[in-house]
Every structure is written in structure tokens, then in C-alpha cells.
Copies of this chain bind each other. A is one copy, B any other.
Amino acid sequence: MSARQGRRHEQIADELRRAIADGRYPIGATLPSEAELATAHDASRGTVRQAVSALLAEGLVGSRQGARRVVLSTTPSQSFTELRSFAQWARAGGRTAGGRVITANWDTARADEAGLLQVPHAAPVLRVLRLRTLDEDPVLLERTVYAEWIAPAVAALPHDSESVTQRLYDDTGLVFAHGEHHIDAVAAGTADAEHLRLRRGSPLLRVRRTTTTAEGRPVETSDDRYSPGSVVFTVRNSTQTNPLTRSRA
């Protein structure tokens, strides 16, 4: 009994994910009502709602007041790993990714970083400055902060690893499951300009991202700056297949 039994809502969510993936609820099918799920899992309606809202957030099901929930998608997206991993994205586009660590050192988390990584204030973290190249051109400067629990595995990697994501998966089985990306534009600072071979003040596309495991445990948070003209982010969305709305249906 010792194994972490608790968290009924996560169990219910997993059960539903499995059922959808298995095709027991194909696209367009309706899920059982909250009341039915509550009875079947011997849980309260609140717990069932917590479970279903996770699927809602993942875009697996859609929800409308008054109507049963509908399955929107059964197949996990393949392109997530592309988004997460610079190397995999480059390879998919037929280009060659390179990378090298410029500096790597232990430090303490700043307040915002501690929040993002969900670790105590001033907890030890590993800071890595890494330059990424595409077909030999420097295009991306990454300032990544790793949580303490994963940092040793990162520190053990070769400094010129082509794909950190792949190496971490091979070495530790770590899978990046969720990501959040904040995108804006900033002017290149001195270090940015030097490493990306630009003039100071050049416009850079900045992506601040935090990646977590499937359980929601934060792994790393990073400030990535892309050389202008090297990369464009594309988003497609619609009112009908909007998988990511939260409470506001």
C-alpha cells in the first residue's frame, strides 16, 4: 500500500486519458457525465471536475455548459518535442544544430526563478549559458536555470552536446511534458551581441520558458534570445479547436 496512492483526481484523469488514447472514446464521442464518473470512481463531483479540467487544459476534450463533454483529440502531438528541443527542431528541418556551453556554475535562485521552479527562496540552482548554432551560424543564446534535483545530470553532460533533451532522456529517463513560453522582443545586451555576433541594441526575439515533467514538476527555466531573422514562431488557433482555455469556457 505504500506506493503513492493518493491524488484521486490524477488517477481519474489518467484513466480517462488512457481510455481516450485506447479509442474507447473516439473523436466526437461524449464522456460520461460528472455524476456517472463520480459514482464509477467513488469520488465526489468536485474531484471528478478537477480530473476532467486537466483533460480540458490539455485539449483532449471540449466542454459546453449543459452538454456532455466531447472528445476533441486522441493523438498526442508529436511536435511538442520539436518545440522543446532545438536540436530536434533543426533536424526536422534538415539543418544541423550545434551547441556549446559557455559557462556553467552553481548559484542561488532569485525570487522569480524560485517561484518558476517552485523551489525555496535562494535554493541552489545550476546556471548554464549555452550558445546554439544552426548550420554553424550562432542563432540562439540560452540562459538556463536548472532545479537542483536535475542539475547533476545536466552538469555531467558533455559541453558540446547536440541535444540536451535527448541526452537527459537517455541518461535519466526524464521526459519534458509541459512547457510555457513567454515571447517578447528585447535589445541585445553586451553579452548577447558578442556571442551572437550582432551590434548592441539589435532586436532579439526573447522566449522565456519553463518546462515541467508530466506531474507538473518544474525542471528548468530559461531565457532564450534568438538572432533576428533566424527563427519565426507560428501559432494557429481557432475558436473551435482552442485546447488551452482554462476556466473561461
Contact = CB atoms under 8 A, between A and B. Distances in A.
Instruction: Identify whether the interface residues of A are mostly helix, strand, loop, or mixed.
Output: mixed
A120 to B, nearest CB: 8
Contacts of A126: none
One complex includes copies of this chain to the number of 2
A203 interface: yes
A124 interface: no
Interface in A88-143: 89, 93, 110-112, 114-116, 118-120
A214 B62 CA distance: 17
A150 interface: no
Given A187-B202, A244-B243, A178 B236 contact: yes
Contact of A228 (B178, B181, B185): B185
A244 B118 contact: no
A8 to B, nearest CB: 12
A161 interface: no
A211 to B, nearest CB: 10
Contacts of A203: 185-187, 201-204
Nearest to A229: B249
B239 A57 contact: no
A11 interface: no
A16 interface: no
Given A64-B118, A181-B244, A243-B244, 14 more contacts: A54-B246, A57-B57, A59-B241, A77-B239, A80-B239, A80-B242, A81-B237, A82-B248, A176-B239, A178-B236, A180-B234, A180-B235, A184-B231, A243-B243
21 contacts: A10-B247, A57-B246, A67-B120, A73-B112, A75-B184, A80-B238, A81-B244, A175-B239, A176-B239, A177-B239, A180-B236, A181-B237, A184-B205, A184-B229, A187-B228, A201-B203, A214-B240, A234-B246, A234-B247, A235-B243, A243-B244
- What are the 6 tightest A-B residue pairs by CB atom distance, in nearest-first order? A28-B111, A81-B244, A62-B115, A203-B203, A59-B241, A70-B115
Interface of A: 9-10, 27-28, 50, 53-54, 57-64, 67, 70-73, 75-77, 79-83, 89, 93, 110-112, 114-116, 118-120, 175-187, 201-206, 210, 214, 226, 228-249
